[in-house]
Chain A
């Protein structure tokens, strides 16, 4: 099935990324309703009402030096100037500001493709630009404009619709959610008798929230979390009502009004139950939305209730010796640092602590920590769906080489503590024939966990 056997073969591949030619029905339908006049009005509305000195400075200060190029895995993978971070600004806001919003529908079509599918908003380039210009922010402004123009890739817009109709990303109905939790509770009782997933418990120490795809596709993660919580004798709870989903595709489509509703609902679910803090599953973008973007949109400088990512939580479990392991995971592992929790929250050292506590052999991939390459799936790119899948996997070439290098040193398992990264890495591993196994920390901890005496 796979096309490549080694790094050499990847390097020889002459294929160029052709995502510009991809026809996305969401983008095309949106364009049909547009005229240059409408575009100009909307653009100027966003620029004048929603942006300020920051955007101006970011676009004006850029001296076109190209230092950001090597900061971007798209550029590193495709070696095409159009994929350098500044190159993406050139194709979007640079033109828009220069022409004061007088751009064509064709321009918007390309700009939408660039902003939604050729940037993971991973902010790695901000660490390579000498000025620290935040291209992810500029791309977000472009997405905001596209959202207001109604030019959004079909698949990600569908998740945004789901968010607004159900308050979760995956069209999970209220009864299905409870049903899933009870089903996982029952499954987990095979491991620990009398195990509970306590619903709506007031005053719990931990309010555990997950992303929509967990009940939809990866329900076993809820089961594993329940086992870990029970093994650690935690006073925890999960909400039975909407507000359980901490994910946020609206943040990535540019639908900030909806993002605010989602974040408020999530915070309020926890606060209504008087929970002491929110612990989140192993997801990167959801953490970004709760810890960074969503709270700010709601005018909370920091989240109104303490938010703890699974990595912080697991690290705490080992530091406080709340759980015991039978024996260490014995296959050599490597660790993928997800952008939103390493570059977004500095959790990379804690992640290494967990690796040390749980795995016998650890092999670093390089670059790592803040400098790790993105999985190419984040920032909503994987959520733009099948039309863009091939292009996305192509842009993961740099990642594939990095994985091959870790594999050459002996790594067999990649730990990726983020759902988006899992999706992206899975495709990369498959496409390039990397042949490594992917795991969450939860998978590893569950596997080696010493269950409490019955």
Chain B
């Protein structure tokens, strides 16, 4: 088990980061090349001011009518995404690893806060799961892959919570935590999780179209 632990925290961690960064760059390059060849329109109409105008409105909670008429979803999504990003970056246990391995460190979250944020992520995943099963329009769109992605996202948080609180079997859970985190990283470039990187571009483009050509709001 120790060997496996060292593999997961050593080589596999490197591979995960490489796949995540390399894969994301590759996806971007592919799309950019294709866009240059086939979608000159995107470059013609892209407008920094209107792109930012749209992005900002959609990054502010309840900044769009869509968010206003879906209040629960809005609250959950914002909390979910904020916690999803901040918790792994600033949780004490992770920062310590950076300190030990690379001698760099930064601000850490109080443990109780990190705990709460982890629970928010887990609860949000359950909410999303409920939507996928119960809301007819979301259910109609849901594919098996959507459940897998939800699982990929939830597992590192569930296992992290488990390991931190040293519930029975926490040693195994720690390894599951590490591996599932690495799987999530590696999945980003190749699944719908890539939406995190595409958001500014899709939003920015429609914002540019609405602002520059249509002279209308898009929120």
Contact = CB atoms under 8 A, between A and B. Distances in A.
Contact of B38 (A51, A127, A134, A367): A51
Contacts of B217: 127, 370
A78 B191 CA distance: 32
A126 B207 CA distance: 10
Interface in B134-164: 135-143, 146
A48 B33 CA distance: 14
Interface string A11-27: 00000000000000000
B34 interface: yes
A65 to B, nearest CB: 7
User: How extensive is the interface on chain B, given as a class?
Assistant: 35 or more
Which of A52, A71, A132, A348: most chain B Cβ within 10 A?
A: A132
A324 interface: no
A385 interface: no
Nearest to A346: B215
Contacts of B199: 61, 130-131
Contact of B65 (A61, A63, A126, A371): A371
A132 B206 contact: yes
A378 B147 CA distance: 37
Contact of A132 (B139, B140, B142, B203): B203
Contacts of B98: none
Given A66-B138, A70-B70, A127-B65, A53 B31 contact: yes
Mostly, the B contact residues are: helix
A81 B136 contact: yes
Nearest to B34: A53
Contact of B194 (A60, A134, A345, A371): A60
A75 interface: yes
Interface string B32-60: 10110111011011000000001000100
A64 interface: yes
B195 A52 contact: no
A75 B216 contact: no
A401 interface: no
A151 to B, nearest CB: 24
B49 to A, nearest CB: 15
Given A53-B31, A70-B66, A345 B214 contact: yes
Contacts of A131: 195, 198-199, 202-203
Contacts of B194: 60-61
B140 A84 contact: yes
B9 interface: no
A66 B140 CA distance: 9
Contact of B218 (A57, A90, A132): A132
Nearest to A302: B213
User: How extensive is the interface on chain A, given as a class?
Assistant: 35 or more
A52 B38 contact: yes
A301 B212 CA distance: 11
Interface in B170-219: 192, 194-195, 198-199, 201-203, 205-207, 209-210, 213-219
B73 interface: yes
A53 B214 contact: no
Contact of B58 (A65, A130, A301, A345): A130
B69 interface: yes
A436 to B, nearest CB: 25
A86 interface: yes
Nearest to A54: B39
Nearest to B193: A63
Nearest to A126: B206
Contacts of B24: none
User: Which 4 A-B residue pairs are closest in the complex by CB-CB distance?
Assistant: A52-B38, A346-B215, A132-B206, A81-B140
Interface of A: 51-54, 56-58, 60-67, 69-71, 75, 81-82, 84, 86-87, 90, 126-134, 292, 296, 301, 342-346, 348, 367, 369-371
25 contacts: A52-B38, A53-B42, A54-B39, A54-B42, A61-B195, A61-B198, A61-B202, A64-B141, A66-B135, A66-B141, A67-B73, A84-B141, A87-B137, A127-B218, A127-B219, A129-B66, A130-B64, A130-B199, A132-B54, A132-B203, A132-B218, A343-B214, A346-B214, A346-B215, A370-B217
